[in-house]
Amino acid sequence: MAPPKSRMWKHMFEKHPTLALKRICKLCPIGDPKRIVGCGTDPKKLNTSNMIQHAKKHHKAEYEADEKLHEEEYGKKRKEPDSLFDPSPTPKKQNTLFASWDKIKIWDVNDDRAKEINIRLAKFLVGGCYPINICEDAFFLDLMSILHKNYKVPCRDFMTRKVIPSMNDSVTDKVKGILQNADNMSFTTDIWTAPHANDCFLSFTAHIMTKEFDNHCVVLRAYHFDERHTAEQVTVTLDQIMIEYGIPKSKIHYIVSDNASAMVKGVTDVDVPHLSCFLHTLNLIINNSIFVQESNKS
């Protein structure tokens, strides 16, 4: 039989001469009925629970001193192992019922951990220009279930109605803070057509240099421009964007656009300085110089 490991057997108690399931406390006076303590119901599986309770209750000072000595010895063994393997591994602690349940239950959409992953997923979709229906793709869902079993990928509708708009509001507030702190700023704007859908958009991009010489380039809007491309409509749209972001016209250094007549007049009517794009102007000059020649017109 292996020698007893608990210090209760060594320091405070000794075997009863006749009763196999009893132990005698060495610290209690002879004749004291509390001196005899039970240590289980099976001679082959004795335990120290009652002995520890007895020591804590009746010999507190001696028990605490022995506890401190045990911790010092245990700590020393942990710091100076005799081999590559830990001679005194920390015993595994059994999980409680609540802890076990928490490991397998699906997080609610309002759980902070689920919210954090939802935001990262939204950044992945928006930043990579991926289709939102990837949230319902079977292979993507299988991948996410392996990465974290407690997380359930939200449906496409939830991402478009809740997560992405919330992230957009957060980014918009941050951009507004940058614009408010800037002393001066310039903008570029243009009307362009998406080739795959034949839809027109008006873009409006801010260019800011901070006092620390940090350059910020932020696309404030890619406005779906399905109206007629008139100077009046350009003016109305640019005014709406500047009002939305609280941009005072006194801070605007220049708005740069191409040389289209509607864009030039539309920006000018906003009552801010306008500058024609140098590259677009250069491109017009080169084209005109080439095709002004009769031999190149054909």
Residues 6+ apart with CB under 8 A from 62: 12, 27, 55
Give me 111's structure tokens: 């759980």
Based on the domain organization, do 223 and 260 belong to the same domain? Answer: yes
User: Which tokens go with 248?
Assistant: 């005072």
Chosen domain end from 174, 193, 217: 174
Number of domains, the chain: 3
CATH classification at residue 272: 3.30.420
Q: For residues 164 and 194, state if they share a domain.
A: no
Do 164 and 187 belong together in one domain?
A: no
Residues 130 and 217 in one domain: no
Q: If you average pLDDT over residues 174-196, what whole number do you get? A: 88
Residues 188 and 255 grouped into a single domain:
yes
Residue 199 lies in a domain: yes
60: Cα within 13 Å, side-chain hemisphere: 1
1 found inside a domain: no
Same domain, 166 and 192: no
pLDDT in tens, 231-262: 999 999 999 999 999 999 999 999 999 988 99
Q: Alpha-carbon distance 132 to 118, whole Å?
A: 13
Domain containing residue 221: 183-291
pLDDT bucket at 103, cuts 50 / 70 / 90: low
In which band, very low, low, confident or very high, does the pLDDT at 53 lie, cut at 50, 70 and 90?
confident
Confidence class for position 50, pLDDT limits 50, 70, 90? confident
Domain annotation covers residue 84 = no
Distance of CA 260 to the CA centre of its chain: 45
296 located within any domain: no
In a domain, 88, yes or no: no
Residues 188 and 226 in one domain: yes
Higher pLDDT, 55 or 293: 55
Greater confidence (273 vs 64) lies with 273
With respect to residue 96, please indicate whether it lies within any of the assigned structural domains: no
Does 86 map to a domain?
Answer: no
Confidence class for position 80, pLDDT limits 50, 70, 90: very low
Mean pLDDT for the stretch of residues 28-42: 79
In b/e form, how buried is each residue of 63-91, taking b as 16+ CB within 10 angstroms?
Answer: beebeeeeeeeeeeeeeeeeeeeeeeeee
